[in-house]
Amino acid sequence: MTDTELLKARIQKSGYKIAFLAEQMELSRQGLYHKINDRHEFTASEIEKLCDLLGVDSLEERSRIFFAKEVDK
Which pLDDT belongs to residue 23? 97
CB 42 within 8 A of CB 51: no
Which pLDDT belongs to residue 68? 82
CB 38 within 8 A of CB 1: yes
Q: How many residues does the chain have?
A: 73
Which pLDDT belongs to residue 73? 44
Which pLDDT belongs to residue 59? 95
Instruction: Walk along the chain (73 residues) and give the pLDDT tens digit of each residue.
Output: 899 999 999 999 999 999 999 999 999 999 999 999 999 999 999 999 999 999 999 999 999 999 987 644 4
The SS3 assignment for 43 reads coil
Which pLDDT belongs to residue 70? 65
In the chain, how long is the greatest CA-to-CA distance? 37
